[in-house]
Structure 1
Amino acid sequence: MSIDQQAKVLSNRYLALDVFRGITLAFMIIVNSPGNWNDLYAPLEHAHWHGFTPTDWIFPTFLFVVGNAMSFAMKKLNEMPSGQFYRKVIKRTVLIFLVGWLLNAFPFYDLNEAGEMVLKNPLNVRLLGVLQRIALCYFFAAIILYWGGERLGWIFSGAALLLYWPILYFFGEAGDPYALATNAATKFDLAVLGAERLYTGEGIAFDPEGLLSTLPSIVNVIGGYLVGKMIQRKGNTVKTVQTLLIGGLLLIAAAYAWNTVFPINKKLWTSSYVLLTVGWDLLVLAGLIFLIEIRNHKNWTYFFEVFGKNTLALYVLAWVVVDIFALIPVGETTLRGLYYDTLFTSWLNPKNASFFFSLSYMFLIWLIGWWMDRKKIYIKL
């Protein structure tokens, strides 16, 4: 059962979880598609290094809802012989990872000094990224939960978060082990992958979706799985909402306490950051269950259900379409530039123009998702 198939099962039983998935994708598109990266409102930016913004909550929540969906699918996976299980999980992992790598390579060419198009060298394309992290976290979480169930999930989560702290502290450079250029995650990724295959948006070769920082991010998926199983056992009840609220508040408090010695940092995916994001996931999920399942306020949910039914496909589409818009020449600008300048910068201040561009683009992707839903087109990854 693919991640999107899991979502269909999930949506039939627990609408709040599917809406949560859709909300996550909607906000992910907004923060990834501004009109101008230099004109952002603060909540729509990632923290520069240490710290936390609403935007820093989105990607770990995507991992969390992957775990939610797995909580419905693992029963079928657990019934498989180990050989069949590994074939299914490895196939899905490779597919999602490959799609992520192809997105990094898109549009597959660069311009040389003479302005001529030359094919990108595949060896120099960034290896890791958002989908690649989802693939790796899915792979390891599935294996852990297949062999050890919830008990091993708890043990691994605690061990991973506790061990990641001394790994960064003792293998980073003394004096400032959590700095951009001196942390252990950077050193590990450089040693294993090489600078040419890492993200360079921070000014140096450093990958926020690197190999070492994948270890604690697996806990976000397992956390989503454990919460999904708890909701299935307890049902959509007031008691469940209370449990989620208490758990969320405790995790947030623990995160800020840990932050005093192990800073909350999305780009390093620190253990305190994991606790904080899972804590907020529990609070938001509690609110959604209360509104949708208990109070039965469902007249607003379809918008986000559309995103929840084709989540990974729409994420890929959102990435590709905006890049294509930027490649199509229109006079002295591009289709993207014409759209942005004509509809937004011509009458809005820079930050509003940038924000409303991203909002309109999110609605464009929603319309494509709505059409796909009407036509019963569901692309599985």
Structure 2
Amino acid sequence: MNTLKNRYLSLDVFRGMDVALMIIVNSPGNGNTSFGILKHAEWNGFTLTDLVFPTFLFVVGNAMSFSMKKYEAIGDGAFFKKVFKRFSIIFLLGFLMYWFPFFENGAIKPIAETRIFGVLQRIALCYLFASLLLHYFKTKTVIIFSILALIGYNILLVVFGDLTLMGNAVIKLDKFLIGANHMYHGNGGVAFDPEGLLSTLPAIVNVIAGYLTGKFIQKNGQNFETIAKLLMFAAILVLAGFAWDLIMPFNKKLWSSSFVLLTSGIDLFIIAILIYLLDMRKPGKWTYFFEIFGRNTLFIYLLSELFIITLAVISMKGTSAYNWIADNIFIAIGGDYFGSLFFALWIMLTCWFVGYLMDKKGIYIKV
């Protein structure tokens, strides 16, 4: 437990909105009857749900624009130790989350079949590499790296595979390094990890974009000129993303370079609007709901995932507790689509309430 230090309201609210939406899209009562906007694109394409994860990385970078100031004064050795410790904890939490509940049919679940890469693991890797780049290199060098990373990743995808589920370079590298048993099998049973190692390269740029945005806001202040410039940069990135989409389609699962530009541009637009609404105007009390998520982000996300997994493994009347509650309470009352949404909202609000109790007691869990 440590003391919460506010930065600017728009960052906490932005982060909170993203976590709330992340929980909703991760816990549909029935995935087959979720509204289309709450589903990922099947392969190429883009939906609101595809924005959730890159936005989380963008917000990680935004928060880093504050924390990196403190790291500059502690020396390289202490900096590396602190960053690597945080990376290790987040990566391990992600691995343990996929291994949970650790036992199956009275025996320990085999580590040989546990997924290695995943959401928290990607956050950890992106945080590590972005931190090292931003600490040891000048801003201009980091921007050049970002451009080369996006172009280089595009080239790697084309040279070492195609853009299909079975033939892309991401799946080939993961199978070679860790094997199919350690990969995600949610794409019709195909061993393909949307958080694979190779596609982490362009994802680092989302973190860098968030960091540079945070530094820009701190340097220029929260005013109309800053907002105008952020909106201009947002428009440039979105247009560049659509232009790149002509040769490398938007693809969240491959984390295509065009996808990075599009999502970074949208995030810039959202943070600019939030700065105006929340930091330059009197926001009102509604922001507190999202601040709860923003203050214990990692803990609440982990809680939501463990809550979902626990419901899925508990047996109830011939099915899982997850399915029984969704079908016999929420879908029975609200129908297929709204019932699935209401179930997801129930999961989200339950996690919010835990966060609310923690906030009232002044408990803020950070790593």
TM-score range (shorter-chain normalised) is over 0.9
Instruction: Describe the SS at the equivalent of 1:38.
Output: helix
Give the alignment's Cα RMSD to 1 decimal.
1.5
Q: Which residue of 2 aligns with 1:327?
A: 313
- The Cα of 1:223 is off from its aligned counterpart by 0.5
- TM-score normalized with structure 1 length: 0.93
Q: Is 1:180 matched with 2:165?
A: yes
Q: Is 1:229 matched with 2:215?
A: yes
> 343, 347, 351: which one pairs with 1:357?
343
Q: Which residue of 1 aligns with 2:285?
A: 299
Q: Is 1:109 matched with 2:95?
A: no
> 181, 189, 200: which one pairs with 1:196?
181
Aligned-partner Cα distance in 2 for 1:239–1:301: 24
Deviation readout 1:186-223 (Å, 9 max, x if unpaired): 11111111111111111311110000000000000010
Q: Which residue of 2 aligns with 1:135?
A: 124
Aligned-partner Cα distance in 1 for 2:342–2:184: 28
The sequence identity of aligned pairs, in percent, is: 49
- The Cα of 1:153 is off from its aligned counterpart by 2.1
Aligned-partner Cα distance in 2 for 1:72–1:276: 25
Aligned-partner Cα distance in 2 for 1:171–1:120: 34
> 351, 364, 369: which one pairs with 2:355?
369
Q: Is 1:239 matched with 2:233?
A: no
Q: Structure 1 residues 262, 338: CA separation in 2 closer, same or farther (over 3 Å shift)?
A: closer
- The Cα of 1:84 is off from its aligned counterpart by 1.1
Name the amino acid aligned to 1:59.
F
Aligned-partner Cα distance in 1 for 2:269–2:210: 13
Deviation readout 1:134-169 (Å, 9 max, x if unpaired): 000000000000101422321211110111111111
Moved more, 116-125 or 54-63: 116-125
Aligned-partner Cα distance in 2 for 1:190–1:338: 36
Residues 58-77 of structure 1: pairs in structure 2 closer than 5 A = 58-77=52-71
Q: Is 1:53 matched with 2:47?
A: yes
Q: Is 1:23 matched with 2:17?
A: yes
Question: Residues 306 and 369 of structure 1 are in contact (CA less than 8 Å); yes or no, is this contact kept in structure 2?
Answer: yes
Q: Which residue of 1 aligns with 2:196?
A: 210
Aligned-partner Cα distance in 1 for 2:353–2:98: 25
Aligned-partner Cα distance in 1 for 2:220–2:147: 24
Name the amino acid aligned to 1:156.
F
Residues 83-122 of structure 1: pairs in structure 2 closer than 5 A = 83-110=77-104, 116-122=105-111
Q: Which residue of 1 aligns with 2:237?
A: 251
- The Cα of 1:80 is off from its aligned counterpart by 2.0
Instruction: Describe the SS at the equivalent of 1:229.
Output: helix
> 342, 346, 367: which one pairs with 2:332?
346
Q: Structure 1 residues 332, 182: CA separation in 2 closer, same or farther (over 3 Å shift)?
A: closer
- The Cα of 1:323 is off from its aligned counterpart by 1.8
Aligned-partner Cα distance in 2 for 1:337–1:171: 41
**In the comparison of the two structures, how many residue pairs are matched?**
366
Aligned-partner Cα distance in 2 for 1:139–1:307: 23
- The Cα of 1:108 is off from its aligned counterpart by 1.4
- The Cα of 1:105 is off from its aligned counterpart by 0.6
Question: Residues 145 and 152 of structure 1 are in contact (CA less than 8 Å); yes or no, is this contact kept in structure 2?
Answer: no
- The Cα of 1:330 is off from its aligned counterpart by 4.1
Deviation readout 1:201-258 (Å, 9 max, x if unpaired): 1131111000000000000001000000000011111111111111111111110111
Deviation readout 1:13-44 (Å, 9 max, x if unpaired): 31101110111100000000110111111110
Aligned-partner Cα distance in 2 for 1:350–1:137: 37
- The Cα of 1:361 is off from its aligned counterpart by 1.2
Question: Residues 171 and 192 of structure 2 are in contact (CA less than 8 Å); yes or no, is this contact kept in structure 1?
Answer: yes
- The Cα of 1:326 is off from its aligned counterpart by 2.9
Aligned-partner Cα distance in 2 for 1:187–1:333: 36
- The Cα of 1:101 is off from its aligned counterpart by 0.3
> 288, 291, 297: which one pairs with 1:311?
297
Aligned-partner Cα distance in 1 for 2:160–2:310: 42
Unaligned runs of 5+ in 1: 111-115
Instruction: Describe the SS at the equivalent of 2:333.
Output: coil
Unaligned runs of 5+ in 2: none
Aligned-partner Cα distance in 2 for 1:334–1:270: 36
Q: Structure 1 residues 337, 199: CA separation in 2 closer, same or farther (over 3 Å shift)?
A: closer
- TM-score normalized with structure 2 length: 0.96
